[in-house]
Amino acid sequence: MIDALLRWYDGAARDLPWRRTRDPWPIFVSEVMLQQTQAARVMPYYERFLERFPEPAACAAAPAAEVLRLWSGLGYNRRALALHRAAGAIVAGGWPDDLQALPGVGPYTAAAVASFAFGAPVLAVDTNVRRVLRRTKLAADAPTPALNQALTELGATVCTARSPRCGDCPLRDGCDGPEEAAPPAGGRPRFEDTDRYVRGRVVAALAAGEALPAVAPERLRRALHGLERDGLIERSGTRVRLPGQAVR
């Protein structure tokens, strides 16, 4: 089954820029950006970010406000602050043997960077890979960078959570097929009605030097409180700015 998967990946792999390098910094940036975010959405942010910060030292030397400005719009802005802190840690001490020692790095990101950048024989299991392994019962006992990439690609493009393309799957022989889909959850609020939406608009406005968004005062109060708690903004009286941002 693994040979069939690798042959499929050789012909079906998307041409993603972070797959063209073994440099750990671009790979690390890509893996942080790809957390809960689709590859097509990440690519323009990834390219702009690395143009400005081609190595950890450039990122570590920049104010957090500039890192957030380049990140703004990608979502989950706390990832940007964690990446900024991780760059400082890398500059100070190099790449640690245990990548989970870096700020904001969990088991999957550590395994992915270890595999794709350093060739470590570890299995990088995210939501997509876990789904593939559960459905196919594939025994991935000898993980390689190519196998990790192939599993990730299959889960992202073919063996999807909803509407999997089973007819195109190289592992369809012996696969039990997707589990019965759970009924959709009802009553889920629109993204525009969530605090996360307001938080993103606040960061985007500050990054662009614009006024805070015109939303209900209580929603804005909650967003500002949460952003300050998470270190994404600084407040002094009525002034609000990104961390390290020059006062205008």
Query: Position of tokens 């893996």?
Result: 31
CA distances from 91 to 13, 67, 78, 169 (A): 33, 16, 20, 43
Q: Would residue 228 show up in a list of annotated catalytic residues for this protein?
A: no
C-alpha 104/C-alpha 228 separation (Å) is: 18
Count of C-beta atoms within a 10 Å radius of residue 11: 7
d(CA 237, CA 225): 13
What distance in Å separates the CA atoms of residue 105 and residue 83, rounded to the nearest whole number? 9
The pair of structure tokens assigned to 2 is 């693994």
Catalytic residue among 31, 66, 153, 234: 31
Radius of gyration of the chain from its Cα atoms, rounded to whole angstroms: 20
As a whole number of Å, the end-to-end CA separation of the chain is: 60
- Which amino acid type is present at position 248? R
Active site residues: 31
